[in-house]
Amino acid sequence: MDSILQTPFCNASLLAGLLFLFMGHMIRRFPPRSMKAWYGYRTFSSTINQDTWDEGNRYAAYISRWLGWILVPFGLLMGWIFSRQSDLLLYLTITPVIVGALLLTGITEWHLLQLFDEDGAPRKKNGGNEKPAV
């Protein structure tokens, strides 16, 4: 009898998807209070000030859960399609994980840039009589 580690259900998408779901849930449920916490979404943009830190972690937790809900079913599907572990299974399941990690960072950084300027101050909404920034 094969061990669970040798079955195609032990694949990168399924395991990383569960990790993304867990991280997203834990950061949402227990957000890191300060930038000195040992966990959290930590990039240059998110560590400018407390507001960027809080928003970066809130949004990264949301995206992480979203990606987890995509990776887990994909990993299960790959486990049902393949009868055994192979190089092709590895490549097909690790590629979405890498893309997902890049998306998590890219989308969260884009979100922070939409809300905050380079100094971490909130961006002003362009109201009716204000001139647009050049």
* Residues forming beta bridges with residue 122, ordered by sequence position: 116
Count up the domains in the chain and report the number.
Answer: 1
10-residue averages of pLDDT along the chain (134 residues): 74 96 96 93 94 97 97 96 91 96 97 94 70 52
pTM as predicted: 0.84
Decide if 90 is inside a domain.
yes
- What pLDDT score was predicted for residue 6? 76
Decide if 65 is inside a domain.
yes
Decide if 129 is inside a domain.
no
- What pLDDT score was predicted for residue 9? 87
Decide if 134 is inside a domain.
no
Per the structure, the complete domain to which residue 84 belongs is given by: 7-32+43-115
- C-alpha 96/C-alpha 39 separation (Å) is 24
- What pLDDT score was predicted for residue 5? 72
